[in-house]
Amino acid sequence: MYRKHSQTIKEWIDNSSKALLVTGARQIGKTWLIRDEIEKSKYAKFEINFIDQPDMVTYLNAQMSAEEFLIKLRMIMPEDCKEHETIVFFDEVQKCPEIVTKIKFLVDEGSFKYVLSGSLLGVEIKGIASAPVGYLSVLQMYPMDFEEFMIANDISKVTLNMLKEKYEALEPIDEFIHEKLLSLFFVYLIVGGMPDAVKTYISTKDIRQVDKVQRDITTLYKADFTQYEVEDKKLKLKSIYDIVPAELNKQNKKFVFTMLDKELKFNRYENSFLWLKDAGVVLPVYNADTPVIPLLTSKSSNVFRLFSNDIGLLTSAYPAETKVELINKNSEVNNGAHFENVMAQQLTSNGFTPYFCKKKNLGELDFVIEMSGKVVPIEVKSGKNYKSHKALDNFMSISDYHMEKAYVFSIGNVEKEDNVIYLPIYMSYLLKEKTLDSAMIVDVDISGL
């Protein structure tokens, strides 16, 4: 199946001298994508999976110099893996963190290209995101978004190009096509973006079979939770993960700790939330006290909303009746939690850091992001009355916030009224930051100094 990051990995294979680390939650397709791109390249592949080959952990994770590590690596490589013609793929590298400490030497030595992949890297290997820029590139992967889901379901390039053109021109989509895409989007709310679930849906069209795949993935996640809860009794991973659907369905969507324990205090369980975030299985969206640039400075670290990393895994926790209502696009059912979860996923995948903002005298904005140097509010509406947005209007009337435009994503068509842009919810994947490449090149004239 098509993944957007296939081009990223291809460009790394063709042009980069650094090592590449591909990270993300379990079961999102990291290993498959790396193998597929290497197989399409001119390079041979030598792969070690440290879960499937636990003896390799002992063999390569011992304390040794970088030179000794490379000698031991060469000893287990087949003869057809020639220097400068082979990519070494270390999979499930969280089980063998010693490799990450050797990466600078391996890159400098230059005999092979190295790609690393793993899950729980944010948990197992602290500081991985701050790895030396000159030696290791980090690629964060997420489940398939709706664009990838459309391509997997054979939506044509003509249609995809048309959607991009309509988005850029702010012109409405043909109503027939709009309704078709809405129907497919509601299926995406159930299937989600885990590649195995998508593959099962495409081959069977049976939501019951998809549900089995999703429950297997959830079981795998909870097995990870159990492992870590045994090691640290203070971690309450499974309890927190299990109440995410209920919390999102509440009118007040802020994560409330009393759902777990009436005596619960944030500072006692902060490590649990950080673990789930670092493992990539939940997406916390924090409150910004004041929606001004930069949003990070007004972030409330103990006030947040918690979303699932995949809309399909979230929906799998709901009864079968809910899924039937989603397929039928029943307007009487509150789909707000599903729409907002998709938006949180998509904004994160598109490189934004989403926040929400709630003020007693103004109301609550579903999301706020930084875009083109401005704060941009985003509202997500699941019902037909999507042009009613009192809180959004209140925030945009405050001149100190400098909100020049806003987006409302809903079941409606493309439209623009004053400084509010209305877009179909299935277009959320198109909301991206404009490239600033030329603006970041600064040549100061110092000829007269």
d(Cα 233, Cα 221) in Å, to the nearest integer? 18
165 vs 321, which has greater pLDDT?
A: 165
Q: Give the burial class of 36: count Cβ atoms within 10 A of its Cβ; 0-12 exposed, 13-18 middle, 19 or more buried.
A: middle
**Measured distance CA(102)–CA(82) in Å, rounded:** 21
Higher-pLDDT residue of 64 and 249 is: 64
d(CA 275, CA 240): 11
Distance CA 392, CA 183 (A): 28
Report the alpha-carbon distance of residue 304 to residue 327 in Å, rounded.
30
Closest by CA position to 317, among listed 241, 250, 254, 253: 241
Report d(CA 67, CA 77) in Å as an integer: 16
Q: What is the pTM of this model?
A: 0.91
Residue 293 has pLDDT above 60, yes or no: yes
- Do the Cβ atoms of 433 and 351 come closer than 8 Å? yes
Residue 271 in this model has a pLDDT that exceeds 90: no
Question: Residue 258 — pLDDT band, cuts 50, 70, 90?
Answer: very low
pLDDT 10s digits, 43-67? 999 999 999 999 999 998 777 888 8
d(CA 14, CA 429): 27
Ordered by where they begin, the domains of the chain are 5-140 (3.40.50.12060), 146-430 (no CATH)
Residues 6+ apart with CB under 8 A from 191: 149, 197, 198, 201, 207, 210, 312
Residue range 284-294: average pLDDT? 94
Tell me the percentage of the chain whose pLDDT exceeds 70. Answer: 90
Q: Please answer whether residues 220 and 169 qualify as being in contact, where contact means their C-beta atoms are separated by less than 8 angstroms.
A: no
Query: Which tens digit of pLDDT belongs to each residue from 105-143?
Result: 999 999 999 999 998 888 887 655 455 567 899 999 999
Classified as helix, coil or strand, 352 is coil
- pLDDT for the residue numbered 168: 97
On the question of a cis peptide bond just before residue 294, with omega within 30 degrees of 0, the verdict is yes
70 vs 72: CA distance, rounded Å: 5
What CA dihedral angle connects 23, 24, 25 and 30, to 10 degrees?
Answer: -70
Mean pLDDT computed over every residue of the chain: 89
Cα 80 from Cα 130, distance rounded (Å) = 35
Give the model's pLDDT for residue 214: 97
* Phi and psi torsions of 144, nearest 5°: -60, 135
- Lowest average pLDDT, out of 2-11, 212-221, 242-251, goes to 242-251
Whole-number pLDDT of residue 252: 60
- 150-198 pLDDT, tens per residue? 999 999 999 999 999 999 999 999 999 999 999 999 999 999 999 999 9
